[in-house]
């Protein structure tokens, strides 16, 4: 059974509507459906601004979807009472894309990582402290820096504080919104290995939002490609990377920078007119769907 | 590229005062950027890249302070400029793209107002002209529907859109040098490719120089002329981009290049151990404890720069000329 099931998710934002301007709406997420199996890493990639973060936030109800359904272990998350939703957040956590904006600047790193344990009344003070120090070490931070405030860390260190916080409650499902984007390849390797190890040990399930396609290819079993609020292609990662079908997926894969100063690859530039808004997802190979 | 450097950083040292004493985040860092040149700065998380960038802009705030070295911009000592003059340099001469967009954007003003304000402060445009210029800039950085987006507040934008607004702010005054701290991390590769193409165009058209901090070695390979590799506050290797990728001479550079994702599904090759915290550096080479090629001498004093190729230098005793009775490298020496 799928652990997380998203069906026909829609999120519209109203904007403008000031003194002189007419209000307008933006459809950030436009009829998105997918299911993630327990223990799976499901990748979500796509153009900047296409709705990846909004999709992740809707699943945890950090923004309220306009319509559609989200099921977690078969239960309708959107029907949860606020109290039930708070309890569910123990199981479902998110690592935010913007580490600076998501960490309270007045709290120390220790308080930030410990807070979810306090909210969910997990463990006595001493046990909590030990857990926090353990988490700090796990994500490759120096427990000697626990009393520092967020601004005293580097960008990549802040990102790992957010990860330690999300892992604190041993969730079963994690939305990872660009969890390693600020890390150099070596620390990134440590953190990604950690995530893969935890997944094996604890059967964690990940929604992995990322721009780094090499990394997505590395860690995700399946991947969905979003474009202008919609999933335009979804399937096994290997199949999509080997034979991308949608014009946007093709453009995306052709633009991956090559770590070789002499490499000059022909980049496919997407012609927006080539993307039909009337197309719908069709299965073009086993489990591989594309808008055609 | 010949000619006088646009920016010379000479033995820059920046220290943070912490409860447990002063901590050196940037340790005698030296490099030059010539007109039209792009220097890449890469290295492990926490090694001092952002603090180097902030030091150049003189934006390090207490408890941090620059304790040594010189910053020469077109031969002028930036450290000696009164703050008012430095403010004119910032934006108009040297612009910075910050690593985290939300730290640099004001949440209570629309992005159009923030762009117009920057243009107005530097006398580039005002009033309706500024609004039109702001829309053009948003268009240049590939923000869709710039006419609509110009009235958005930062929180209404996606992470990558905010990053592009920051790039637009940096381009606004057509500076000679942009210090870009991870400017494309939040962008998908198609838009990233567009932004890199835009920067290349500006290099060609206006001789724009760039200090590009990135952890994406693919980006570094694609746009940099030279690359400096930083480790624990020091530049451990620097050289032309081809030499760094083809003939890396410092074991850390080699290990970094080997950490890139390879076979899907397999564990990634991480470098064993972790970067020492500034303030807790080992006596000799800071990379020593993690280095597969270390030998006795590495634990004595930090290695100086050795020339290891045309315009290439590395701080590693593997490259010390074998002489003067010091124990040399073991047999497997430099490759
Ligand atoms: N205000 C501060 N007080 C104490 N230490 C600080 C402060 N600001 C930064 N540091 C330390 O200085 C070191 C260098 O930080 P810097 O932000 O330059 O790293 P970086 O190379 O940019 O890393 P990243 O790739 O993660 O952004 C880090 O170890 C950081 O913890
Ligand atoms: N609070 C908000 N108010 C208004 N519009 C919003 C809000 N949050 C997001 N949007 C809009 O929704 C769209 C999708 O944004 P989202 O952050 O989900 O994109 P994303 O795919 O995560 O992009 P990125 O890769 O740049 O992070 C964008 O057009 C954005 O401007
Ligand atoms: Mg996002
Ligand atoms: Mg940084």
Greater confidence (A265 vs A42) lies with A42
pLDDT(A43) > 90: yes
CA-proximal residue: ligand 2, atom 1 (nearest): B156
pLDDT tens digits, residue range A108-164? Answer: 999 999 999 999 988 899 999 999 999 998 888 888 899 999 999 988 889 899 999
Q: Is residue A278 domain-resident?
A: yes
Predicted pLDDT at A20:
61
Kindly give the distance from the C-alpha atom of residue B50 to the centroid of ligand 4, in angstroms, as a whole number: 4
SS3 B123: coil
A215 touches chain B (CB under 8 A): yes
Q: Is residue A220 domain-resident?
A: yes
A192 touches chain B (CB under 8 A): yes
Predicted pLDDT at A41:
97
Predicted pLDDT at A126:
94
Mean pLDDT of A17-24: 67
Instruction: Determine the Cα–Cα distance for residues B172 and A46; give it in Å rounded to an integer.
Output: 28
> Which long-range contacts (C-beta less than 8 Å, at least 24 apart) are formed by B123-128?
B124/B172, B124/B173
A49 touches chain B (CB under 8 A): yes
Q: How confident is the model at residue A290 (pLDDT cuts 50, 70, 90)?
A: very high
Q: Is residue B304 domain-resident?
A: no
Find residues 276-335 of chain B whose CB sits inside 8 Å of chain A: 277
Strands (DSSP E) found in B75-169: 76-77, 94-97
A255 touches chain B (CB under 8 A): yes
How many other C-beta atoms can be found within 10 angstroms of the C-beta atom of residue B48?
Answer: 27
Mean pLDDT of A195-218: 91
What phi and psi, each to the nearest 5 degrees, are found at residue B109? -115, 150
Q: Is residue A262 domain-resident?
A: yes
Pocket test for ligand 1, best of B16, B44, B54 (most atoms within 8 A of CB): B16
Instruction: Determine the Cα–Cα distance for residues B247 and B240; give it in Å rounded to an integer.
Output: 10
Domain span including residue B117: 102-174
Q: CATH number, domain at A283?
A: 3.40.50.300
- If one counts the domains in chain B, the total is 1
Instruction: Determine the Cα–Cα distance for residues B14 and B309; give it in Å rounded to an integer.
Output: 29
Domain span including residue A21: 2-38+45-91+175-181+208-291
Q: Which residues are in the CB-under-5-Å shell of ion ligand 4?
A: A 154-155; B 50, 99
Residues with CB under 6 A from ligand 1: A 151-157, 182; B 16, 18, 23, 25, 45-51, 63-64, 99, 278
Predicted pLDDT at A262:
84
B102 touches chain A (CB under 8 A): yes
What phi and psi, each to the nearest 5 degrees, are found at residue A266? -70, 120
CA-proximal residue: ligand 1, atom 1 (nearest): A152
Predicted pLDDT at A119:
92
Q: Is residue B146 domain-resident?
A: yes
Ramachandran region, residue B10 (left: φ > 0; alpha: ψ -120 to 50; beta: rest) = beta
Mutate to test the interface with A, among B46, B48, B107 (most CBs of A within 10 A): B46
Which residues have CB under 8 Å from B88's CB, separation 6+? none
Q: Is residue A108 domain-resident?
A: no
Instruction: Determine the Cα–Cα distance for residues A144 and B279; give it in Å rounded to an integer.
Output: 12
Which member of B103, B164, B221 has the closest CB to residue A100? B103
Predicted pLDDT at B262:
62
Predicted pLDDT at A17:
61
CB contact under 8 A, B245 and A46: no
Tokens 């857990």 belong to A131
A30 touches chain B (CB under 8 A): no
Which member of A16, A99, A182 has the closest CB to residue B151? A16
The nearest CA of chain A is from the CA of B221 a distance in Å of: 4
Q: Is residue A250 domain-resident?
A: yes
Cis peptide leading into B63, omega within 30 of 0?
yes
Q: Residues of chain B whose pLDDT is less than 70?
A: 1-2, 262-266, 323-335
Comparing alpha-carbon positions, the chain A residue that sits nearest to B48 is: A154
Predicted pLDDT at B264:
62
Predicted pLDDT at A18:
61
- If one counts the domains in chain A, the total is 1
Kindly give the distance from the C-alpha atom of residue A6 to the centroid of ligand 2, in angstroms, as a whole number: 18
Q: Is residue B250 domain-resident?
A: no
| Residue B38 near residue B223, CB atoms below 8 Å | yes
Q: Is residue B131 domain-resident?
A: yes
Q: Is residue B245 domain-resident?
A: no
Predicted pLDDT at B334:
42
Q: Is residue B212 domain-resident?
A: no
Q: Is residue B2 domain-resident?
A: no
pLDDT tens digits, residue range A237-249? Answer: 999 999 999 999 9
Comparing alpha-carbon positions, the chain A residue that sits nearest to B142 is: A48
């Amino acid at each position: 059974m799928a652990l997380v099931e998203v069906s026909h998710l829609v999120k519209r934002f109203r904007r403008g509507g000031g003194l002189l301007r007419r209000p307008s709406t933006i459809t950030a997420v436009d009829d998105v459906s997918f299911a993630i199996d327990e223990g799976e890493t499901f990748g979500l990639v796509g153009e900047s601004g296409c709705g990846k973060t909004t999709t992740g936030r809707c699943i945890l109800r950090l923004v309220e979807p306009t319509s559609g359904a989200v099921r977690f272990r078969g239960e309708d998350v959107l029907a949860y009472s606020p109290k039930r939703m708070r309890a569910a957040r123990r199981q479902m956590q998110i690592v935010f894309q913007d580490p600076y904006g998501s960490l309270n600047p007045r709290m120390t790193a220790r308080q930030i990582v410990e807070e979810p344990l306090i909210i969910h009344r997990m463990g006595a003070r001493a046990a909590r402290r030990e857990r926090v120090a353990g988490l700090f070490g796990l994500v490759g931070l120096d427990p000697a820096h626990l009393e520092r405030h967020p601004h005293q860390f580097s960008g990549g260190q802040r990102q790992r504080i957010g990860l330690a916080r999300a892992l604190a409650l041993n969730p079963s499902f994690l939305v990872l919104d660009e969890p390693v984007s600020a890390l150099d390849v070596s620390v990134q390797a440590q953190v990604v290995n950690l995530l893969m190890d935890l997944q094996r040990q604890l059967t964690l399930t990940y929604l992995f939002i990322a721009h780094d396609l090499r990394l997505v290819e590395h860690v995700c079993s399946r991947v969905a490609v979003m474009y202008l609020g919609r999933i335009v292609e979804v399937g096994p990662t290997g199949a999509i990377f080997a034979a991308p079908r949608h014009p946007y997926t093709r453009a995306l894969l052709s633009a991956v920078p090559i770590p070789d100063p002499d490499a000059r690859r022909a980049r496919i530039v997407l012609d927006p007119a080539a993307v039909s808004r009337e197309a719908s997802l069709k299965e073009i190979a086993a489990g591989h769907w594309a808008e055609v | 590229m010949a000619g006088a450097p646009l920016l010379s950083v000479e033995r820059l040292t920046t220290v943070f005062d912490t409860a447990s004493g002063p901590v050196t985040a940037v340790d005698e860092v030296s490099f030059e950027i010539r007109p039209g040149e792009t220097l890449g700065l890469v290295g492990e998380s926490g090694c001092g890249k952002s603090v180097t960038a902030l030091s150049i802009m003189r934006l390090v705030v207490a408890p941090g302070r620059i304790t040594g070295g010189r910053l020469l911009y077109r031969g002028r000592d930036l450290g000696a400029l009164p703050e008012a003059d430095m403010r004119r340099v910032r934006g108009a001469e040297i612009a910075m793209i910050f690593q985290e967009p939300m730290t640099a954007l004001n949440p209570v003003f629309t992005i159009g107002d923030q762009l117009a304000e920057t243009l107005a402060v530097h006398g580039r445009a005002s009033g309706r002209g500024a609004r039109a210029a702001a829309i053009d800039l948003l268009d240049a950085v590939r923000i869709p529907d710039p006419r609509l987006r110009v009235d958005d507040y930062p929180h209404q934008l996606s992470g990558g859109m905010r990053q592009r607004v920051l790039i637009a702010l940096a381009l606004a005054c057509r500076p000679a040098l942009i210090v870009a701290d991870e400017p494309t991390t939040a962008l998908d590769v198609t838009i990233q490719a567009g932004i890199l193409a835009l920067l290349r165009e500006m290099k060609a058209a206006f001789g724009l120089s760039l200090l590009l901090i990135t952890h994406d070695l693919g980006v570094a390979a694609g746009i940099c002329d030279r690359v400096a590799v930083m480790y624990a506050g020091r530049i451990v290797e620097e050289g032309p981009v081809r030499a760094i990728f083809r003939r890396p001479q410092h074991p850390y550079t080699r290990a970094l290049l080997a950490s890139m994702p390879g076979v899907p599904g397999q564990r990634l090759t991480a470098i064993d151990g972790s970067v020492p915290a500034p303030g807790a550096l080992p006596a000799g080479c800071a990379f020593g404890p993690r280095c597969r090629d270390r030998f006795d001498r590495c634990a004595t004093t930090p290695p100086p720069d050795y020339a290891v190729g045309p315009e290439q230098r590395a701080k590693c005793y593997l490259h010390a000329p074998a002489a003067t009775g010091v124990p040399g490298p073991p047999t497997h020496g430099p490759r």
